Amino acid sequence: MDANELRSKYIEFFKSKGHAQIQGKSLIPDNDPTVLFTTAGMHPLVPYLLGEPHPAGTRLTDYQKCIRTGDIDAVGDPSHLTCFEMLGNWSLGDYFKEGAITMSFEFLTDPKWLGIPIEKIGVTVFAGEEGIPRDDESAAIWKRLGIPEERIRFLPREDNWWGPAGTTGPCGPDTEMFIDTGRPSCGPDCGPGCKCGKWLEIWNDVFMQYNKTAEGTYEPLARKCVDTGMGIERTVTILNGKKSVYDTEIFAPLIAAVESISGYTYGSDTEKDKSVRIICDHGRAATFILGDPKAVSPSNVGAGYVLRRLIRRAVRHGRKLGIDRLFLTEIAEAVVEKFAAPYPELAENRNRIMEELQQEEQKFLETLQKGEHEFEKLLPNLLKDPRKIISGRLAFKLYDTYGFPIELTEELAAEHGMTINREEFDEAFKKHQELSRAGSEQVFKGGLADHGEQAIKYHTATHLLHKALRMVLGEHVAQKGSNITAERMRFDFSHPAPMTAEEIARVEAIVNEQIQRDLPVTMEIMSLEDAKASGAIALFGEKYEAQVKVYTIGDFSKEVCGGPHVDRTGKLGRFKIQKEQSSSAGVRRIRAVLE
């Protein structure tokens, strides 16, 4: 079974069980400063898992493109990926453990669907801890369905618990489904959940049944939800009896492209195979990011920095295969061709993908030349050292200042009979990583948008600001993105020139007037056509469902939006624009606060 067949079977199965298929969302999350990318299928659904009504109902299913960079350094082994697809189904206060587990079991074992023999399936469930009982209910359901006791394992929190994403909020036990790969077991304690490689996890049902309070207690939720996730690449690997995700048809055209460019045959050399896998994964991830409707460009901050790192790492591994020219657009062509059917935005944005890749690859080659030039300038002094050892601090300076990779410094050193003090370099690099990690901890604190009281106020304020900007600057103004924290809001909009002080003052006055009017904020669910016909503004580049939520603020503003919002504008406080600046060509950015 290939990825396209798995994707369509999954959606077909859950639609037959009363689930509405919803659109997968952008890789760049809206209004969520806690993560750089969409990391899971549930990510765009957080407001609905927290209680917002979803316009498509209480049973949902979709497929979602995801990026996770926590394991970027492990990519190159047979299983790690930064870019992957997630299948999911959700219950928003509808069915719970019985319904979710029964459906999962049917999809896995029924010959009409995946037809996996029951004797190959094992599961894990939550073992319980002080204050939270063990999940005997899930275990009993699996047992009744025919999974024997020895293949149902109770594991602790680190294995079978999800959330909360922040310090408080919805959370609960999960049950994970594993397939026996047929490899020998590592001993008598080997079973589902064992890390030896015999059992591979392919699906996870999360049961959000508790709310963790600020005091650290777990209260049962009145409205229980189910969130599930099945990785396409891993499942296709298992279904086809492959040893690695890279051995599936998903990666075949990408590997063929690398072989054609490099002249290297995949499978001939362990180290070179690793480089091929890195080029395939990173090339696919970069193509998906650049092909997204809300694409970022390579840069030195945030998501743009991750994109730059992916591109440069792929180029570096291209050099290891002997590729000495620009080549990433050829990998991207293979990605677009392979994935444009489920993700048409890749074909729509093909030109941008190719231009950005070529530009960044060219820039990196210039960086490498600059680093080589700096190394040559240092060479006469380096050769005077009889020990023929280059200090790790110097190698790190080349890396930190010129972006020159340590592997290339090692190559140049070896050409002149020298080595590098790797221990010293690794120490400097580790300090650099710790500083970077400390700086980005706020960004990666869990991938749950802040839906606290203050953030909800800011969310409503963006609607007032959007309308005020259109009134002052003209109807061409369209929201291009926003970023909200509990402390401030950032709003990007289309406009060709800087705003004047007078325009800023007028926008501020209009927003504050609407706050003083204490307008009611109401929500209706309607078709997208009806929403547009009623005059509601819909966001640029956003994929909408057939049914959408429309938020109306008195007689002032009407927008298609997922929510959440305050119920009256009088709760917002005083609106103050702190800064208006350029964001990118033809896009301006406003930073504002509620005082």
Is 240 in the same domain as 274? no
Classify residue 205: in a domain, yes or no.
yes
Residue 373 sits in the same domain as residue 483: no
Total domains present in the chain = 3
Among residues 384, 405, 424, the one where a domain terminates is: 384
Q: Let me know whether 30 and 87 are in one domain.
A: yes
Find tokens 């990118």 and name the residue: 584
Residues paired with 149 in a beta bridge: none
Report yes or no on 428 lying in a domain. no
- Looking at the fold, whether 146 and 259 belong to one and the same domain comes out as no
Task: Say if residues 527 and 550 touch (Cβ distance below 8 Å).
Answer: no
Which residues make up each annotated binding site? 459, 463, 561, 565
272 and 176 in a common domain: no
Q: Quick check: helix, strand or coil at residue 83?
A: strand
The string of pLDDT tens digits covering residues 524-536 is 989 988 998 999 9
In the listed set 216, 246, 276, which residue is the last one of a domain according to the structure?
A: 246
| pLDDT reported for residue 544 | 77
Which tokens in the block code for residue 98?
């019985």
Residue with tokens 């997968």, as numbered in its chain: 24
Q: What is the dihedral of CA 135, 137, 140, 144, to 10 degrees?
A: -140
β strands within 161-265, DSSP E: 161-162, 169-180, 199-212, 218-231
Name, in order, each residue with C-beta under 8 angstroms of 396's C-beta and a sequence gap of 6 or more: 406, 424, 425, 428, 429, 432
Quick check: is 551 in a domain?
Answer: yes
Cβ 378 vs Cβ 384: under 8 Å? no
Domain assignment of residue 259, yes or no:
yes
Q: Is residue 361 part of a domain?
A: yes
pLDDT at residue 456, as a whole number = 87
Whether 231 and 255 map to the same domain: the answer is no
Contacts of 219 (CB under 8 A, 6+ apart): 210, 211, 213
How many angstroms separate the CA atoms of 426 and 418, rounded?
Answer: 18
Question: How confident is the model at residue 451, as a pLDDT?
Answer: 65
Question: How big is the chain, counted in residues?
Answer: 595
CATH of the domain at 206: 3.30.930.10
Look at residue 323 and give its three-state secondary structure.
coil
Of 340, 364, 384, which residue is a domain's last?
384
Q: Does residue 259 share a domain with residue 180? A: no
Interhelix angle 392-402/406-415, rounded to 10 degrees, is 130
Residues 162 and 210 in one domain: yes
User: Are both 15 and 70 inside the same structural domain?
Assistant: yes
pLDDT of residue 448: 43
394 falls within a domain? no
The residue segments making up the domain with residue 155 are 3-246
C-alpha span between 474 and 476 (Å, rounded): 5
Closest CA relative to residue 62, chosen from 471, 462, 295, 343: 343
Q: What is the pLDDT along the chain (595 residues), one digit of tens a residue?
A: 999 999 999 999 999 999 999 999 999 887 666 678 988 888 888 788 878 899 999 999 999 999 998 778 788 888 789 999 999 999 999 999 999 999 999 999 999 999 999 999 999 999 999 889 999 999 999 999 999 999 999 999 999 998 876 677 789 999 999 999 888 999 998 999 998 889 989 999 999 999 888 888 999 988 999 999 999 999 999 999 998 999 999 999 999 999 999 999 999 999 999 999 999 999 999 999 999 998 889 987 788 888 998 999 899 899 889 998 999 999 999 999 999 999 999 999 999 999 999 999 999 988 888 888 888 999 999 998 889 999 999 999 888 887 788 888 888 898 899 999 999 999 988 887 776 555 444 443 333 455 678 888 999 999 999 999 999 999 999 988 888 887 889 999 999 999 999 999 999 999 999 999 999 999 998 998 899 899 999 875 567 778 889 999 999 999 998 878 999 999 999 999 999 999 877 889 999 999 9
Same domain, 241 and 261: no
What whole-number distance in Å separates Cα of residue 485 and Cα of residue 483? 7
Is there a single domain that holds both residue 352 and residue 464? no
Can you give the CATH number for the domain in which 541 is found? 3.30.980.10
Q: Please report, in range form, the residues annotated as the binding site for Zn(2+).
A: 459, 463, 561, 565
Strand partners, 124: 153, 176
Could you tell me if 588 and 493 lie in one domain? yes
- Does some domain include residue 434? no
The answer to whether position 182 is within a domain reads yes
Q: What is residue 437's predicted lDDT score, i.e. its pLDDT?
A: 55
